Amino acid sequence: MIKVGIIGSTGYAGNELVRLLLQHPETEIIWYGSRSYTGEPYASVYGNFFRIVDAECLDDDLDKLAEEADVIFTATPQGYCASAVSEKILSGTKVIDLSADFRIPDVAVYEAWYGITHKSPEFLPEAVYGLCELYRDQVRTARLVANPGCYPTCSILAVYPFLKAGLIDPKSIIIDAKSGTSGAGRSAKTANLFCEVNENIKAYGVTTHRHTPEIEGVLSRAAGVDAAVTFTPHLVPMQRGILVTAYASLTKEVSEEELRKVLLQCYENEYFVRVLPEGICPETRNVEGSNFTDLNFRIDKRTNRVIMMGAIDNLVKGAAGQAVQNMNLMCGLPEQTGLRQIPMLP
Amino acid sequence: MIKVGIIGSTGYAGNELVRLLLQHPETEIIWYGSRSYTGEPYASVYGNFFRIVDAECLDDDLDKLAEEADVIFTATPQGYCASAVSEKILSGTKVIDLSADFRIPDVAVYEAWYGITHKSPEFLPEAVYGLCELYRDQVRTARLVANPGCYPTCSILAVYPFLKAGLIDPKSIIIDAKSGTSGAGRSAKTANLFCEVNENIKAYGVTTHRHTPEIEGVLSRAAGVDAAVTFTPHLVPMQRGILVTAYASLTKEVSEEELRKVLLQCYENEYFVRVLPEGICPETRNVEGSNFTDLNFRIDKRTNRVIMMGAIDNLVKGAAGQAVQNMNLMCGLPEQTGLRQIPMLP
Amino acid sequence: MIKVGIIGSTGYAGNELVRLLLQHPETEIIWYGSRSYTGEPYASVYGNFFRIVDAECLDDDLDKLAEEADVIFTATPQGYCASAVSEKILSGTKVIDLSADFRIPDVAVYEAWYGITHKSPEFLPEAVYGLCELYRDQVRTARLVANPGCYPTCSILAVYPFLKAGLIDPKSIIIDAKSGTSGAGRSAKTANLFCEVNENIKAYGVTTHRHTPEIEGVLSRAAGVDAAVTFTPHLVPMQRGILVTAYASLTKEVSEEELRKVLLQCYENEYFVRVLPEGICPETRNVEGSNFTDLNFRIDKRTNRVIMMGAIDNLVKGAAGQAVQNMNLMCGLPEQTGLRQIPMLP
Amino acid sequence: MIKVGIIGSTGYAGNELVRLLLQHPETEIIWYGSRSYTGEPYASVYGNFFRIVDAECLDDDLDKLAEEADVIFTATPQGYCASAVSEKILSGTKVIDLSADFRIPDVAVYEAWYGITHKSPEFLPEAVYGLCELYRDQVRTARLVANPGCYPTCSILAVYPFLKAGLIDPKSIIIDAKSGTSGAGRSAKTANLFCEVNENIKAYGVTTHRHTPEIEGVLSRAAGVDAAVTFTPHLVPMQRGILVTAYASLTKEVSEEELRKVLLQCYENEYFVRVLPEGICPETRNVEGSNFTDLNFRIDKRTNRVIMMGAIDNLVKGAAGQAVQNMNLMCGLPEQTGLRQIPMLP
């Protein structure tokens, strides 16, 4: 059994990690870390785990945890992992960081968008961006994986194939994304109260959202072009799910069939990416609770644009599920181990 | 592998059966029955199953299905199973009926509350009421199981221990139940449109809901008393979940501790029944997607009543999950096989 | 124009007061009090008022406000009004308190249920319980009105007519109430986050909710009997609305027609109370945004109980609307002035 | 009093017309038309009107209605108004059509996008597109007004000022729109059931939505340029509200201040258009129940695009409210008469 520890286990992503790892045949959770609930029974924070988890929450002593765990997940605020990780920890343990600390290779870009100083830039070169569909081989041998952001996961998977194939203008990409409210976390903020979120939709972080450089950077590097992205996230009155609607100008006249071929080929061996039949739009409910990414596209002939659409569960493929997918690769397990949950509907 | 067929697989309960049976290690679904969608790919009706289920929907030919299946689930409108079942079918196949056709032993009561003629009363004597926690032994050897209604499951499990122990007045029971909208089914009715259900709560079927005689009858027979129940269901703007708040007069002065002991002893060996710690109220979200029933109670000392509370997922313990639990017992499998899903939250 | 001031104008009840009073033809709001947002534009707290309210939030200096206002609304936490009110204030101004400070005539009962010391019990004898349908004449001449709680408003209006008429056993009353989440206020608490409330229903404050003695006391005094009430509130994933389902044993055999006559007669002159046609259950959506209370009932002949149902908008008839109704009476205006909004649906 | 009749009064837009017109000081509703509910009390269809509307639904005899009414609203499916209107009707009555029949001047375009034959193209030349902010003077003297679509209203108001000012490339416009579910109407369709819509977001009608030529045509004509628009609508799990997020390339380098000046000037005399302060994004809840359009924008300097945002209540400014606004103008009333409802929140 792989011994795993979770720092930040009482946030929504941490809670989802617990759910997935408890149902994973090869893992044992030995550390339910939570700064806010240290000493309290985990099941008193999340009642769904009553009589399933008996453990109490522990503090976030990464060094101590590293002595006991084979794999550590940090589902923590920006800056924590960069400040706590060390050569000693990495030499004995695998670390999968769900925060943004190691997603952006250029320290200056990270510090500009996140407004904090990076405490361990020395590990940036070795950190692998854990979007398995693009970086599977590098993940397998990584000590430190930067688990992708929720919006970037869905955005990159939707746009990458066409960008890589040279079919869309890399400067024309517009990503309009919509997220359920669990993406906003579990902190007690007025803006996230039921009565503030329900029966409402709004954009936020317009032109300034921190996932912008992550999306742009990964797309550029993976496709080998210099992409520029306008990215606008929205808050939707639902709990889980991200829908991405991305727009780009086609570089030439192509048919739906040609584009479909490109998309299908790109993901033909990917269990977790489902290219939907022509005319079927991705819906977040169809991936809820699962690690799937549903994709499709449509050509707007009148304007020669392509509309690329993707749907994920932000807590699974957008966070905890992808982290487990990375763990499986890093530990030499079949990639789908413990991740074949069927989406739950309604 | 157990070969199972589902008649009525495109309703919400049928869809949940598919989800659970596909993840069950010992079953193979050989028949996705659907009168409305015969000939269409199952995954075109329920997009969550895209690339998971390739089968097309078949009609509801129970005789033909019985030749091929070991177990048949009928998730169909009232009257179907009673009109289709036969000695020939039952002699070769196990039938688990999710409708009400075989839940009420007295034909006259069934016909009075349901307003239809029972087509095969000859099978009523052998039909077993599939509330495993009360009738486990009879279920094991049954050919025909009447899977309990959603409200009755939650109501009976919440009230039974105290009634059986003689601690509550059997004529004083009031059950105020609240259900998510999936309980109303998937038919296209104006009353179930998003804009009619959302931001609203209402009672319905007041004094006339068909689950009343089922609750009353099972409680009376199981506890060996002549119980009378006032039952009021409500429609809640959420998808899944039933919450029962039941009231009864205590027959004597008892302490919370004494009642707790009764409740804990009654369910001490039941994996799927979780008696919550004192002061913690059941919440539907804590059982969502799982086969658990969460229970608790509180004494109102001022009025010498006990308030008994229970929560289930109406599609799992209230329908498909309980049906699989029954199948496991009928087939000699460990009762929890394929049913250990952890509730998903948020 | 009546000059009104609101202490606590940035809570949900305060916000609703602002909405109603701005559309009231006889009032002018001169004080938007808010301890949390003093100095900030009111419209920056509630964007719906952008370009409608230019005022900034003021502090909660009740003495100063009393010099300027004709009517003061205190939509504040328990204890504030009792600690701030004075003979000087009351001699120059009318005060309508939306908190519980003056709802319970017996100080000991108040202090036991609320766990705080009452700072001005000397005003309790003159305070009038502002349920206009029962205490209209007293309200007209009051200096200090205790605006009823949301649950009590709906519960009392639903049960009172039958209790007063001697048709129900005063010791048999059980009130199962369901509330939208705005009733929980606008404080930033984890329990009220969208992802904690949505897709969930739960009971809370079982046997201990502070509205219990208010309901019981008013019912007893108004009907002239010694009533005992079991009261259980529930939190529903919707914004506005309270639904009450109340149960009581009938004292004799009566017909639906007889009960209906009692109910209709009791409220025959009440604009804001709508007795629905036989067989139609109250729904919260049908009163949303309005000051109406919708009522109906059903006899459960099998158990000789009556099920009494009521629906209100908790922020209007359950708080701000009723406060304006009280103001109208206290100021000699027609009772419906500014309160004839038609419920908004969907 | 203006005598008004409504054909299609039992759809959501019709229901909202009734709510607004009953609260309008100068109108009397003399005809509640409804093909589906002819002969039934209007309040039995919409319980919010209980004891407010006593009338029964009448059929859709437009000729008879025209003899009695001063103004007729047709809130009917596409094709009805075009097939029923006549010179006789128009010579005696004003008609405000909430369907698309008279929104698109070019019959061929209408027939291509709507797939039906236009039955009275002879009235197209005189029909005025009732977006009052752009066509106020023409509306005043019109006999036949085409009430704008919900998406077009919000989209055009958000984009028009910048397009007119030559600040954005007319070929670069992308409109990503999100709508509450009341926009889908009240027909009993499986796709609009609570359990299908809730906890989900999806795009629909991608590249084919019928509002595309309406948006494109009005923008082009009003701004005097040849605009091309990619338009993608989405369905959001909320009842009311449309949010538009529109993207376009700036034709030159401009500052936020310059753009703000353009926007403010364009709408400086418009009561119903609120340009929000810098940095504040429109939210649908802030306009709910009102006739306001909230607008703002943001420059994405990195890509030299402008993101234009707008929010309306789809049933008010997007349908019934705008229709009343048109009626006010056509009847010589102050434009805001009966339309100053303050948005209701939460």
Asked if residue A237 belongs to a domain, the reply is: yes
Q: Is the domain of A120 the same as that of A155?
A: no
User: Judging by beta carbons within 10 Å of its beta carbon (0-12, 13-18, 19+), is residue D221 exposed, middle or buried?
Assistant: middle
Query: Once rounded to an integer, what is the mean pLDDT over residues C85-111?
Result: 97
Tell me, what CATH number does D71's domain have? 3.40.50.720
From the list C176, C314, C345, the residue with the least C-alpha distance to C239 is: C314
Closest approach of chain B CAs to the CA of D16, in angstroms? 13
Of D187, D195, D239, the CB nearest to B239: D195
DSSP B100: S
pLDDT over 90 at C113, yes or no: yes
Q: Which residues of A touch D243 (CB under 8 A)?
A: 201-203, 234
Half-sphere exposure of residue D277: CA atoms within 13 angstroms, side-chain side = 6
pLDDT one-digit tens code per residue, C257-286: 999 999 999 999 999 999 999 999 999 999
What Rg value do the Cα atoms of chain D yield, rounded?
Answer: 20
Residue A188 lies in a domain: yes
In a domain, B272, yes or no: yes
CB atoms within 10 A of CB C268: 9
The whole-number average pLDDT for the span D179-203 is: 97
Residue A344 lies in a domain: no
Give the residue numbers spanning the domain of B230. Answer: 151-314
Residue B41: what pLDDT? Answer: 98
CB atoms within 10 A of CB B109: 14
Is the Cβ of B304 closer than 8 Å to some Cβ of chain C? no
Looking at the domain assignment, is residue B322 inside a domain?
Answer: no
> Which of chain B's residues have a Cβ under 8 Å away from the Cβ of C285?
199-200
Check CB contact under 8 Å for B12 and D190: no
Closest among B337, B334, B329 to B94, alpha carbons compared: B329
Average pLDDT estimate for C155-178: 98
D188–B contact, CB cutoff 8 A = yes
**What is the rounded CA–CA span in Å between residue D130 and residue D153?**
10
The catalytic site residues of A sit at: 150
Q: With a CB-CB cutoff of 8 Å, which residues 252-281 of chain A face chain B? A: 274, 276, 280
Task: Give per-10-residue mean pLDDT for chain A (346 aa).
Answer: 98 98 98 97 98 96 95 97 97 97 98 97 98 98 98 98 98 98 97 98 98 98 97 98 98 97 98 98 98 98 98 98 98 98 96
Tokens 């394929």 appear where? B338
**Pair (B162, B89) in one structural domain:** no
Cβ–Cβ below 8 Å for D48 and C341: no
Catalytic center residues of C: 150
Q: Are residues A236 and A107 in the same domain?
A: no
Q: Is C330 part of a structural domain of the chain?
A: no
A304 to chain D, any CB pair closer than 8 A? The answer is no
Tokens of A67: 């002595």
Test the A interface: residue of D172, D190, D199, D276 with most A CBs within 10 Å: D199
Cβ of C194 and A189 within 8 Å? no
Active site residue: D132, D150, D154, D266, which one? D150
Q: Do B194 and D192 touch (CB under 8 A)?
A: yes
The answer on B281 and B190 residing in a single domain is yes
CB nearest to C190's CB, from A181, A188, A238: A188
CA D87 – CA D108 distance, rounded (Å): 22
Same-domain pairing of A163 and A283: yes
> Do D85 and D175 reside in the same domain of the chain?
no
- DSSP string for B178-197: EE-GGGG-SS--GGGBHHHH
Chains adjacent to B (≥3 CB pairs closer than 8 angstroms): A, C, D
Alpha-carbon gap, residue A315 to A182, rounded angstroms: 8
Stretch C291-313: mean pLDDT = 98
Query: Which candidate from B198, B203, B282 shows the least CB-CB separation from C281?
Result: B203
Report yes or no on C143 lying in a domain.
no
Find the helix packing angle between A150-164 and A211-223, rounded to 10°.
30
Q: Which residue of C has its CA nearest to D183?
A: C346
* CB atoms C206 and B302 under 8 Å: no
Select the residue of C189, C190, C199 nearest A239 (Cβ to Cβ): C199
C10 in contact with A at a CB cutoff of 8 Å? no
Count residue pairs from C and D with Cβ separation < 8 A: 75
How many domains does chain C fold into?
2
What is the reported pLDDT for B60? Answer: 85
- Verify that A206 and A307 share a domain, yes or no: yes
Please tell me which of the candidates C187, C196, C239 has its beta carbon nearest to residue A199: C239
What would the pLDDT profile of C172-197 be if each residue is shown by its tens digit?
A: 999 999 999 999 999 999 999 999 99
- Summarised one tens digit per residue, pLDDT across range A164-192 is 999 999 999 999 999 999 999 999 999 99
- pLDDT over 90 (residue C60): no
**Positions of B marked active-site:** 150
- Complex ipTM tops 0.90: yes
User: Across the B/C interface, how many CB contacts are shorter than 8 Å?
Assistant: 146
Contact yes or no for C345 and D48 at CB 8 A: yes
- Residues counted in chain A: 346
Could B200 and C283 be called an inter-chain contact, meaning their C-beta atoms sit closer than 8 Å?
yes
Bin C265: left if φ > 0, else alpha if -120 < ψ < 50, else beta: alpha
Q: Does residue D266 have an active-site annotation?
A: no
The residue in chain C having the minimum alpha-carbon distance to the alpha carbon of residue B209 is C300
CB atoms D193 and B186 under 8 Å:
yes
d(CA D258, CA A51): 61
Q: Are residues B39 and B160 in the same domain?
A: no
How far CA D219 is from CA of D43, D170, D228, in Å, comes to: 40, 9, 9
Whether the per-residue pLDDT at D60 is higher than 90: the answer is no
Structure tokens at B209: 């809901």
Closest to D147 in 3D by CA, of D2, D340, D236, D14:
D14
Pairwise CB contact (< 8 Å): C190 & A194: no
Contact B15, B43 (CB under 8 A): no
Give me the pLDDT at residue A60, please.
Answer: 85
Nearest C-alpha in A relative to C235: A194
Instruction: Please answer yes or no on whether C198 and A198 come within 8 Å at the CB atom.
Output: yes
pLDDT 10s digits, B192-221: 999 999 999 999 999 999 999 999 999 999
Domain co-membership, C285 together with C201: yes
B286 vs A239: CB contact, 8 Å cut-off?
Answer: no
Among C255, D19, D23, which residue's Cα sits nearest to residue D32?
D19
Contacts of D186 in chain B (CB under 8 A): 190, 193, 195
Contacts C319 to D, Cβ<8 Å: none
Domain assignment of residue A326, yes or no:
no
Whichever domain contains D167, its CATH number is 3.30.360.10
Look-up: residue for tokens 């006559």? C261
Q: Which regions of chain B are under pLDDT 70?
A: none
Answer yes or no: do B186 and D194 touch at CB < 8 A: no
B22 touches chain A (CB under 8 A): yes
| Closest CA–CA distance from residue C343 to any residue of chain D (Å) | 6
Alpha-carbon distance B152 to nearest alpha carbon in chain A (angstroms): 22
Residues C83 and C217 in one domain: no
Q: Tell me the chain A residues in contact with residue D304 when contact means C-beta distances shorter than 8 Å.
A: none
Q: Which chain D residues are Cβ-neighbours of A215 within 8 angstroms?
A: none
Residue C163: band (very low, low, confident or very high) from pLDDT cuts 50, 70, 90: very high
* Site from A193, A194, A202, A208 to mutate, D interface, most D CB atoms within 10 angstroms: A202
- Do C174 and C119 lie in one domain? The reply is no
Residues 6+ apart with CB under 8 A from C223: C160, C163, C164, C170
Cα–Cα distance measured from residue C203 to residue D249, given in angstroms and rounded to the nearest whole number: 53
From C189's Cα to the closest Cα of chain B, the distance in A is 16
Of C255, C72, C283, C20, the residue nearest B234 (C-alpha): C283
- Whether residues A169 and A309 share a domain: the answer is yes
Q: Do D46 and C345 touch (CB under 8 A)?
A: yes
pTM, rounded to two decimals: 0.98
SS3 B323: helix
